[in-house]
Structure 1
Amino acid sequence: MSSHHSPAARLTAGALLTSAAALASVGTLAPAPAAAATATGQQKKAHATAAVLDLDGGDGAPVIHGADRAYDTASIVKVDILAALLLKAQDEGRQLTSQERGRAEPMIRRSDNAAANALWREIGEAPGLAAANKRLGLTSTSGGPGAKWGLTRTTASDQIRLLRAVFGTGAKRSPGAGALGAKSRAYVRTLMSRVAPEQAWGVTAVSGPGARQALKNGWLQRDTTGLWDVNSVGQVTVKGHRYLVAVLSNGSASMSDGISLVERTAREAMT
């Protein structure tokens, strides 16, 4: 666990475990018995929202499935942190330093929390994220308080705006897409396409075997209820078309339930 977590929540995104099933069964991640009982009773309160944008067709507007409400980001905010870091480097007329790259890469590929802690401080925490997001075209994302980057709040439609700033081209680019230079965008795409295999769940459920994909997932268990926030964002290829997909959820009784909810919501959104 990272040291910055509040009594209200703890982030577990830095743990690189052998499988999604293992994540749900490891004792340190599972709710305490009392919390588990509460969570089971509240599973019906789980919510999910999906946003889908066809990069190769359509009018450039994402299709939203469910209420476009705000959710905690958990570790999907690490893509936003990296984008803010790259904007900072661009403004200073330089590439990322070896130290910055040494943090950015495990932050995205393995969801390393210590790396995220350091880069969150470097970008100026929530105010720095807000300044970057204004340039990236985001309108509905607010950084977590203090060091608590995982409690950043966002919407599925805003995550599509962020993804468009990284993956969009031509007419499908968002107003903020030009903020990141070509090299910066390629760097983010490369890291998102190389996440640890154990974390390649979520929006990838809509792709066929061997399809090109790039993603970042996030998961967070609430101490007060034992319930889970589970999110997945990225680019997937389905029947030759590239799609940006963002699925945000909360209220699941376990991480495995959250993953199932996210993947089911993603599939339904693509039908």
Structure 2
Amino acid sequence: MPGGRHSRTRSRSRSRREQRRRRRARRRQVVWTVAGTALLAVAAAAYGAANGQGDAGGGDAKPEALSAGAATPSASPTPAPEDLAPALDGITANLAGRRLSVALMDTASGEWAAYGDGAFDTASIVKVDILATLLLQAQDAGRVLTTKEQAYAADMIQNSDNDATSALWTVIGSATGLDAANKRLGLIETQGGDGTVWGVTQTTAEDQVRLLRSVFGADSPLSEPSRAYIQGLMHHIAPGQDWGISVVADDPSATALKNGWLERTLTKKWDVNSIGQVEIDGRTYFMAVLTNGHTTQEAGISFVEEASRAAVREIAALR
């Protein structure tokens, strides 16, 4: 057999590399599990203490009505966003049935840039919005999250668990609860999904920046403990789900992140989205990249990361 001995040598070498890779992955998983469990315990305790309450028990909570008179943050990050279209020309020239929208805001200056319009499926990025809604409802009711809700929240954000999300979607009152909360969180282009299908909630990249402002900014209807609780979970995403906008960060592991991915039943095409807070060259940004029409999830991830890099290069050039 031509090259047989060399082929066997290369095969053994690849096998050893794969074994080492798997061992490293297992070690990272163990470290993440321990750290994530400890973080959840600390965040939950701090959240309860800051609200002046202890453990509220493990029972299911009923949806609470939102206070009608609460202040709503400004609906738009700034009046005039920079146009990211020139920066993305190399990508958008060959979309081939895919769609893309990007929004990026400098948290210090308030300057921002955007590309693309129209609504996109949220897929799992809606989970941040669901948790923000749950916390806002709990604030209105003068209570903290139950033990069960905290467990669902951690699984929903850190592991992107769909069963936990469905449970909390019911608790908040589904789309009705989400839409009511979003009016106060400053979102103006987001519509909750029909029935139990939270993953097809419709949103825009600009609205996701508005959501991030309410999750991370002090000018928010969410209390400081509520914001810190969401932030803590977003800072500890499970290994294997930490792709997307984190690729442009100074330290990807320090990015507060939530990604979403969904294969549409009829078209067999993938929605792939990424939102969060990233630090780039020492500056902090809110960033959202929404896409759809991909043949595979992996292709979508690569596309999101390529668009993220292009957008950041443009922002760096403007400074």
Give the letter for the 1:62 counterpart. W
What's the counterpart of residue 309 of structure 2? 267
1:43–1:157: structure 2 CA closer, same or farther, 3 Å change rule?
A: closer
Alpha carbons 2:123, 2:201 under 8 Å: kept: yes
Alpha carbons 2:98, 2:294 under 8 Å: kept: yes
In the alignment, the residues of structure 2 paired with residue 210 and residue 193 of structure 1 have an alpha-carbon distance, to the nearest angstrom, of: 10
Alpha carbons 1:43, 1:251 under 8 Å: kept: no
Give the letter for the 1:241 counterpart. R
In the alignment, the residues of structure 1 paired with residue 118 and residue 150 of structure 2 have an alpha-carbon distance, to the nearest angstrom, of: 33
In the alignment, the residues of structure 1 paired with residue 233 and residue 269 of structure 2 have an alpha-carbon distance, to the nearest angstrom, of: 29
Bigger mean CA offset, 42-51 vs 141-150: 42-51
* Corresponding residue SS for 2:142: coil
Structure number with bigger Rg: 2
In the alignment, the residues of structure 2 paired with residue 122 and residue 227 of structure 1 have an alpha-carbon distance, to the nearest angstrom, of: 30
What's the counterpart of residue 112 of structure 2? 62
What's the counterpart of residue 166 of structure 1? 215
In the alignment, the residues of structure 2 paired with residue 137 and residue 209 of structure 1 have an alpha-carbon distance, to the nearest angstrom, of: 29
What's the counterpart of residue 198 of structure 2? 149
Match of 2:157 among 98, 108, 115: 108
Deviation beyond 2 Å, 4+ runs, structure 1: 208-212
Q: What is the TM-score normalised by the length of structure 2?
A: 0.67
Give the letter for the 2:140 counterpart. D
Q: Does 1:134 align with 2:176?
A: no
* Corresponding residue SS for 2:240: helix
1:68–1:43: structure 2 CA closer, same or farther, 3 Å change rule?
A: closer
Deviation sequence 1:141-174 (CA, Å, 0-9, x none): 00000000001000000000000001124xxxxx
Q: Does 1:198 align with 2:240?
A: yes
Q: Does 1:218 align with 2:267?
A: no
Return the structure number with greater helix share.
2
Greater RCO between the two (CA within 8 Å, min separation 6)? 1
Alpha carbons 1:143, 1:152 under 8 Å: kept: yes
* Cα deviation, residue 62, structure 1: 2.7
* Cα deviation, residue 47, structure 1: 1.4
Alpha carbons 2:231, 2:256 under 8 Å: kept: yes
What's the counterpart of residue 275 of structure 2? 233
Q: What is the TM-score normalised by the length of structure 1?
A: 0.79
Alpha carbons 2:261, 2:270 under 8 Å: kept: yes
- Show structure 1 runs of 5+ residues with no match: 1-17, 19-41, 170-176
